[in-house]
């Protein structure tokens, strides 16, 4: 298999490392250069003529859209994947209209970047599930990521094995704004799909998520009052199952079972569908308790085997990703 030469462009150093680490899992990919702004991206694209360019949109100096216009003229054979915090359909359409083959929303990069790369190298478009209306931007023959959207339904909450999909999704966000956007999108999509939602986060993140949801017209306060959304403080939840700085599995599952039962009761007379987003493991990681963080993620994997549940765990890259923690990072960034 011939090697594929890749240029990675993002102004956030930690996120560039994350992109390079993720792409490094795919045999045949070689990172030949990195760039931190649009002008540097154009220069390196012209100089190196890479096979693939992973290009952020929100770049300083020259934004990714304008950089792509110039790159298409200077290196027309380079395939482009846009990677952006922006989840609007209009932005995606503008980006794809330039001839790019892929668009991945940053909050979905952990699960979508490699599938997007595979699709694009095979000559197919890839459209992120993180777009606000992603089905309508996908042209015929393109690959649409199988993420949670308002048009999908989650399986009923029933203990035991099932052939239906369950997800434990781990996402790494470049900053607080991306974190809030990712959690808000997850919660909005889950509520639209008829799910009850459990949110376990810091007070500041919970407040910011509520404000963002209200700005998008989601009546999240009413959902909380009805019990369809259960909002909890992450430190209080951690205190219920941690023992000697490690999670106690018996306590963990007791707390999880009680929370799931509480959320399920909000759907009286209906099959309960549950989604959970939280930052228990991320908080432990930020406190330097990496072993505890890994164990919590593994317990979450087991939780998806006990129940049909959709889980999102959100990490902040700028506070948790360190080069010396790479092996631990890789252990956590898995799906069951």
pLDDT single digits (tens) 61-86: 899 999 999 999 999 999 999 998 88
* pLDDT of amino acid 324: 54
Same domain flag for 236 and 99 = no
The continuous run of DSSP H or E covering 54 comes out as strand 52-56
Give the Cα-Cα-Cα angle 282, 288, 292 (nearest 5 degrees): 65
- Look up residue 171 and give its two tokens: 């996402």
pLDDT over threshold 70, residue 319: no
Number of domains in the chain: 2
pLDDT over threshold 60, residue 269: no
Same domain flag for 183 and 316 = yes
Contacts of 151 (CB under 8 A, 6+ apart): 135, 193
Looking at 144, 179, 200, the residue that finishes a domain is: 144
Domain of residue 92, residue span: 4-144
> Distances from the Cα of 334 to the Cαs of 110, 164, 298, 301, 331, in angstroms?
9, 19, 9, 9, 6
Same domain flag for 97 and 198 = no
| Cβ pair 81, 92 in contact under 8 A | no
Same domain flag for 181 and 321 = yes
* pLDDT of amino acid 328: 58
* pLDDT of amino acid 138: 46
pLDDT confidence band for 12 (50 / 70 / 90): confident
| Cβ pair 173, 85 in contact under 8 A | no
Average pLDDT over residues 306-314: 85
pLDDT over threshold 60, residue 48: yes
pLDDT tens for 139-160 read 444 554 443 232 232 233 233 3
- Look up residue 201 and give its two tokens: 């986060």
Provide the 3-class DSSP secondary structure of residue 127: strand
Q: Which residue has the higher pLDDT, 199 or 270?
A: 199
Average pLDDT over residues 1-30: 88
The span from the CA of 205 to the CA of 280, in Å, is 13
Same domain flag for 272 and 303 = yes
* pLDDT of amino acid 31: 95
- The chain-wide mean pLDDT, for the chain, equals 81
Question: Looking at the domain assignment, is residue 290 inside a domain?
Answer: yes
Helix 64-74 / helix 38-48 crossing angle, nearest 10 deg: 20
Provide the 3-class DSSP secondary structure of residue 213: helix
Of the listed ranges 62-71, 208-217, 228-237, 256-265, the one predicted with least confidence: 256-265
Q: What is the CATH number of the domain that holds 127?
A: 3.40.50.2300
pLDDT over threshold 70, residue 169: yes
Average pLDDT over residues 225-231: 89
Same domain flag for 12 and 48 = yes
pLDDT confidence band for 109 (50 / 70 / 90): confident
Of the listed ranges 116-130, 148-162, 182-196, the one predicted with least confidence: 148-162
The span from the CA of 153 to the CA of 89, in Å, is 22
pLDDT over threshold 70, residue 289: yes
Q: What is the CA radius of gyration of the chain?
A: 20
pLDDT confidence band for 100 (50 / 70 / 90): confident
User: What global pTM score does this model have?
Assistant: 0.58
């Amino acid at each position: 298999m011939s090697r594929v030469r890749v240029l990675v462009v993002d102004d956030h150093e930690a996120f560039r490392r994350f992109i390079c680490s993720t792409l490094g899992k795919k045999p045949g990919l070689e990172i030949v250069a990195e760039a931190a702004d649009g002008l540097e991206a154009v220069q390196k694209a012209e100089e190196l003529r890479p096979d693939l360019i992973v290009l952020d949109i929100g770049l300083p100096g020259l934004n990714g859209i304008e950089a792509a216009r110039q790159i298409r003229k200077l290196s027309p054979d380079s395939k482009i994947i846009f990677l952006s915090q922006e989840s609007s359909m209009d932005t995606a359409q503008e980006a794809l209209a330039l001839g790019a083959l892929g668009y991945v929303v940053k909050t979905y990069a952990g699960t979508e970047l490699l599938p997007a790369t595979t699709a694009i190298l095979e000559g197919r478009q890839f459209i992120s599930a993180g777009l606000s209306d992603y089905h309508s931007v996908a042209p015929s023959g393109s690959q649409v990521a199988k993420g949670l959207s308002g048009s999908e339904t989650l399986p009923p909450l029933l203990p035991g094995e099932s052939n239906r999909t369950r997800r434990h999704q781990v996402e790494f966000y470049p900053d607080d704004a991306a974190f809030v956007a990712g959690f808000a999108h997850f919660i909005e999509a889950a509520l639209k799909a008829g799910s009850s939602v459990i949110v376990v986060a810091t007070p500041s993140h919970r407040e910011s998520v509520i404000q963002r949801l209200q700005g998008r017209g989601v009546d999240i306060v009413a959902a909380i009052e009805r019990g369809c959304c259960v909002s909890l403080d992450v430190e209080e939840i951690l205190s219920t199952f941690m023992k000697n700085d490690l999670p106690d599995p018996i306590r963990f599952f007791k707390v999880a079972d009680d929370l799931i039962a509480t959320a399920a009761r909000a759907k009286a007379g209906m099959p309960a569908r549950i989604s959970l987003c939280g930052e228990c493991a991320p908080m432990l990681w930020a406190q330097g308790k990496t072993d505890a963080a890994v164990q919590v993620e593994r317990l979450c994997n087991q939780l998806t085997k006990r129940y049909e549940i959709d889980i999102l765990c959100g990490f902040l890259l700028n506070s948790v990703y360190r080069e010396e923690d790479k092996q631990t990072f890789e252990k956590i960034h898995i799906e069951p």
